[in-house]
Structure 1
């Protein structure tokens, strides 16, 4: 077989595999990637002027590059079969979990936190890659506990969460710790954990929140600012609310936002407020509807999977992306204390983009049309 024939055969196999991906999820993913670039173009001039970078669309260009990398990561992860998804997740979790602890020790300090490795030309936030990998590993453990009586899968999952929480809180990164706790709680319920254990976990979560409030001054300041919205700690959230209100129903127009120029994290933690200011209430509601549709599609497909591991992993990955989006939007609307949470695929950031793309790629792999994968066929692509 010639090299050209071999390449053609390989391309044909890849094309056949692509036809098995869930098309509605792919369409929603394309929209989210596009919105990330569009909103980066809206926020970039104000941010570059604030930090005195001559290139007005510096952040937009980098976001486009991150999106391109994200698409490659997504397609690469989607090409794996479920067994390789599990294997890749174990390897990534084994690498990224220690790196989270190392980052808290030697990483550069940014706004009172050490979460990154700075390589000069780029930076890496290990927790963003850890999240989807950890969700898949949890699902493996929980799936085995459902199939094999006496297997301590739930305890292993809880132990891994404890290790991840210890590493993240040492940075500190309370937002990611909370996000992972919420996702694990949902996965434990899906795996059939008894109600008494769920209630016990809720009590433990309440105690943990009190401990964080008592021993982390940064978290205490944010909670106090949320309960008493005044002073410097509430500045960004207050400006985000002003931006949302200024946008009205139809927005000021693309690139016409004013308040975003005085919002330091407009391109990352408050990109939803920028969308509301420039494109209005209709666009901001549209974003919520888009993530809601993503959740409905992903969970409806996951509920029909035949294998417990695949079912819990797919549901957990959907919960990870949608819960993160919900927290981001809730912070922008001042419904919860500020947490510094990015909006998946849309907020600026390479690590966030790659982590979100990895989660989506794993999800597409698990939800592929495969013989015997589903309890019943249904109307898969409708």
Structure 2
């Protein structure tokens, strides 16, 4: 363990934030898991806690392994992974899996281990790496819309089209993040406007087609999206059961909270250990605890931006922003849903909510960020060693 800790590199603040979030997650996960045991009647609280611990340990292994890979390799890796992602998404879309009678076509089972894998989370990281690669390679060139259409937007568009029927919120987040990175990467604004308009048009056509031919889109979750949006603006408490219970949990937490494990609404709130875990956190740790958690995510965003600005290559900068910003954006969406500022989306709270796919892909993305940060540290150390080994360097600095 000591040897591993000595070999850890990259931004130390990011490492600290990841560790704090992971350790803290055990408290709300253990508390919220009593809902699954007492109400749903599956497993034990200790079993859920051990499973969460196992997923986090594997997640840290992913971070450690990923941050040791030179970040320039992720450019070529994104090209290799795009076909893999497409195959996985096609299989996921048409395999028609259900869980307890509910459409769960976003998931596939990992053979022999009994863990579900949400392929769209892998696709989101790969798409952001792929986008960063294209923008970096064409940074100094004049971009023609037709060329970028085939080299960037059609592959990205196909991935998004395969995610959309079963997971609108993830599709929207990926699309928004791709447009943001494209803007930051110097992609022409008029072309971004054209892509945005095309995306809205395609989405509208998809909705109309799905409503007109429901049998053709039997695995889509359009009814769920429509209900969530309609319920969000409806005063009917029964229609907003999840949102109302979440707001009740937050209100009852007041400033100081009820204390760890003392949540009442965890026994009534569906998905209390995943989608609505923030509501349980605020109920048990108060608005002060919820605010501090938000500060941690914003601090993570700040450090991600710092790493991006200090990177000496455009690919490194766009890569860090592309895979890092969505983590914080997802966290803020989860919090906004819990407090009633946003319709229910099903987005987990990164590194806090239960679920292997979310934890693993978040850790992979953070490993990529740390890889870029570690590369800069290695270059600085090499330059320092060269200067220390060169006696003339001291005189050079004094004269300069």
Query: Do both share a fold (TM > 0.5)?
Result: yes
Segment drifting more, 113-122 vs 306-315: 113-122
Match of 1:243 in 2: 249
Residues 1:173 and 2:167 are matched in the alignment: yes
Q: Deviations over 1:295-330 (max 9, x none)?
A: 011112202212111110101112111111111111
CA RMSD of aligned residues (A): 2.6
Q: TM-score, normalised by structure 2?
A: 0.84
Give the whole-Å Cα distance in 1 for the aligned partners of 2:149 and 2:16. 35
Match of 1:161 in 2: 156
Equivalent of residue 113 in structure 1, options 104, 117, 142: 104
Match of 1:326 in 2: 332
Match of 2:348 in 1: 342
Aligned residue pairs total: 364
Give the whole-Å Cα distance in 1 for the aligned partners of 2:96 and 2:372. 34
Segment drifting more, 61-70 vs 125-134: 125-134
Q: Identify if the C-alpha distance between structure 1 residues 29 and 121 changes in structure 2 by more than 3 Å, giving closer, same or farther.
A: same
Give the whole-Å Cα distance in 1 for the aligned partners of 2:5 and 2:339. 42
Q: Identify if the C-alpha distance between structure 1 residues 155 and 233 changes in structure 2 by more than 3 Å, giving closer, same or farther.
A: farther
Q: Deviations over 1:223-251 (max 9, x none)?
A: 10112142544211111111111100011
Contact kept? 1:249, 1:282, Cα under 8 Å: yes
- Superposition pairs for residues 260-299 of structure 1, below 5 Å? 260-299=266-305
Residues 1:363 and 2:352 are matched in the alignment: no
Contact kept? 2:66, 2:367, Cα under 8 Å: yes
Contact kept? 2:39, 2:267, Cα under 8 Å: yes
Q: Deviations over 1:125-167 (max 9, x none)?
A: 1112222122111100111111344584575332222111111
Q: Identify if the C-alpha distance between structure 1 residues 107 and 75 changes in structure 2 by more than 3 Å, giving closer, same or farther.
A: farther
Q: Identify if the C-alpha distance between structure 1 residues 106 and 295 changes in structure 2 by more than 3 Å, giving closer, same or farther.
A: same
Q: Flag structure 1 segments of 5+ consecutive residues without an equivalent.
A: 1-10, 378-382
Equivalent of residue 29 in structure 1, options 8, 11, 18: 18
How far apart are residue 69 of structure 1 and its match?
0.6
Give the whole-Å Cα distance in 1 for the aligned partners of 2:70 and 2:58. 21
Match of 2:176 in 1: 182
Give the whole-Å Cα distance in 1 for the aligned partners of 2:286 and 2:31. 14
Segment drifting more, 81-90 vs 291-300: 81-90
Segment drifting more, 146-155 vs 174-183: 146-155
Q: Identify if the C-alpha distance between structure 1 residues 17 and 148 changes in structure 2 by more than 3 Å, giving closer, same or farther.
A: farther
Q: Identify if the C-alpha distance between structure 1 residues 197 and 149 changes in structure 2 by more than 3 Å, giving closer, same or farther.
A: closer
- Superposition pairs for residues 23-172 of structure 1, below 5 Å? 23-110=12-99, 111-118=102-109, 119=111, 121-150=114-143, 152-153=147-148, 156-170=151-165, 172=166
Secondary structure at 2:139's aligned position in 1? helix
Secondary structure at 1:146's aligned position in 2? coil
Give the whole-Å Cα distance in 2 for the aligned partners of 1:15 and 1:334. 41
Contact kept? 1:183, 1:316, Cα under 8 Å: yes
Contact kept? 1:236, 1:263, Cα under 8 Å: yes
Give the whole-Å Cα distance in 2 for the aligned partners of 1:225 and 1:88. 42
Give the whole-Å Cα distance in 2 for the aligned partners of 1:140 and 1:54. 44
How far apart are residue 210 of structure 1 and its match?
4.7
How far apart are residue 52 of structure 1 and its match?
0.8
Q: Flag structure 2 segments of 5+ consecutive residues without an equivalent.
A: 211-221, 385-400
**Which structure's CA Rg is the greater one?**
2
Match of 1:8 in 2: none
How far apart are residue 101 of structure 1 and its match?
1.7
Give the whole-Å Cα distance in 2 for the aligned partners of 1:296 and 1:247. 28
Q: TM-score, normalised by structure 1?
A: 0.88
Secondary structure at 1:135's aligned position in 2? helix
Give the whole-Å Cα distance in 2 for the aligned partners of 1:209 and 1:288. 32
